Structure 1
Amino acid sequence: MKKGTLLNSEVSHLISRLGHTDEITISDAGLPVPDNVQRIDLALCHGVPDFIRTVQTIMTEMKVEAIVLAREFKEVSPEHHELLMNVIDSEEKRTGEAIDISYVSHEEFKQLTQSSKAIVRTGEFTAYANVIFKSGVVF
C-alpha cells in the first residue's frame, strides 16, 4: 500500500507523468470538462472532497511553478480565495521558491483548461473555486 499522503491512484499516476510546464486543473463540481481532457472525478457529494483539501494534497506530490485563477474567484468567493493564497504561501515558505500567480476571466480560464492533461473534479460548491497548476521541475 502507498505510504504517502496522496492515495488516489489516478491522481498519483497523473502527477507521475507530468513534465515541465504540463498543466492540470483542480475544479469545483460545476466546471465543464472539455471532451479532449481526462476527467478524474473525486466528487462524492456536496463539499466532499473540498477544493482546499484537494489542492493541499496534490501539492504534497506535485511541484507547482505557476497557477492560473479566474478573477471572479477573488471577487465572488474572497474567503476561499484567501484560503488558497494561504496554501500557496505555505508552499512557497516550505520550498523557498515563489509560485507565479496569474488571473484571467472565467471564460478565458475555461478555454485554458483545454490544455490541461486532466481536470480533477472535487465536490466543492463554492463559485469559481478552480485552479490550473503548471508543473515545475524538482531539480
Structure 2
Amino acid sequence: MKKHGILNRELAGRFAKLGHTDQIVIADCGLPIPDDVPCIDLSYKLGEPSFLTMLEVVLDDLVVESAVLAEEIKTKNAELSKTLTNTLPNISYVSHEEFKRLTKNAKFIIRTGETTPYANVILQCGVIF
C-alpha cells in the first residue's frame, strides 16, 4: 500500500502514465465533459471535494509546467483567480468557450464538487529532470 501521495487507484495509475506535455483537467461540477475523454468523478456533494483541495493534491504529486484558465475567471471569480496566479506556473488565458474545446485534448478530467464560477484548469505536465 502507498505511504503517501494520491491514494485513489484510478488517479495514481493515470498519473503514472503521463508524460511531458500531456494535459489533464481539474474541473468544477458544471464543466461539460467531452464524450471521448475519460472522467474521474470525485464529486460526492455540492462543493466536495473542492477545486482547491484537488489542485493542491495534484500539484503535490505531478510536475506541472503550465496552466490554462478561462479569461472569465478574472472578473467572475477574482478571489480564486488571485490564488491561482500565486500558485500555478506559466498561466495562459482563453475564452471559456475555447477552454471547453481544449478539454478534448486532455488525457483525463478530474471532476470535483466545486460550485464557484470558472473553477477549471488545464494543467500541462512537465518533467522531473
TM-score, normalising length: structure 2: 0.96
Offset of 1:80 from its aligned partner? Answer: 1.4
Q: Is the 8 A contact 1:26 1:130 kept in 2?
A: yes
Amino acid in structure 2 at the alignment position of 1:27: A
Answering whether residue 110 of structure 2 is matched by residue 111 of structure 1, we say no
Q: Is the 8 A contact 1:52 1:83 kept in 2?
A: no
Answering whether residue 70 of structure 2 is matched by residue 80 of structure 1, we say no
- Structure 1 residues 74-133: Cα deviation after superposition (integer angstroms, max 9, x where no partner): 210011122223333xxxxxxxxxx21100000000000000000100000011100000
- Segments of 5+ residues of structure 1 without an aligned counterpart are 89-98
Amino acid in structure 2 at the alignment position of 1:50: S
Question: Which is worse superposed, 73-82 or 43-52?
Answer: 73-82
Amino acid in structure 2 at the alignment position of 1:87: T
Offset of 1:45 from its aligned partner? Answer: 0.3
CA distance in 1, matches of 2:90, 2:83: 17
Aligned residues: 129
Q: Is the 8 A contact 2:27 2:120 kept in 1?
A: yes
- Structure 1 residues 48-70: Cα deviation after superposition (integer angstroms, max 9, x where no partner): 10000100000111100010000
1:122 corresponds to which of 99, 112, 119: 112
- Segments of 5+ residues of structure 2 without an aligned counterpart are none
Amino acid in structure 1 at the alignment position of 2:107: K
- Structure 1 residues 13-46: Cα deviation after superposition (integer angstroms, max 9, x where no partner): 1111101100000000000000110000000001
Instruction: Tell me what 1:57 maps to.
Output: 57
CA distance in 2, matches of 1:8, 1:85: 27
**Large movers: runs of 4+ above 2 Å:** 83-88
SS in 1 for 2:122: strand
Return the structure number with greater helix share. 1
Instruction: Tell me what 1:44 maps to.
Output: 44
TM-score, normalising length: structure 1: 0.89
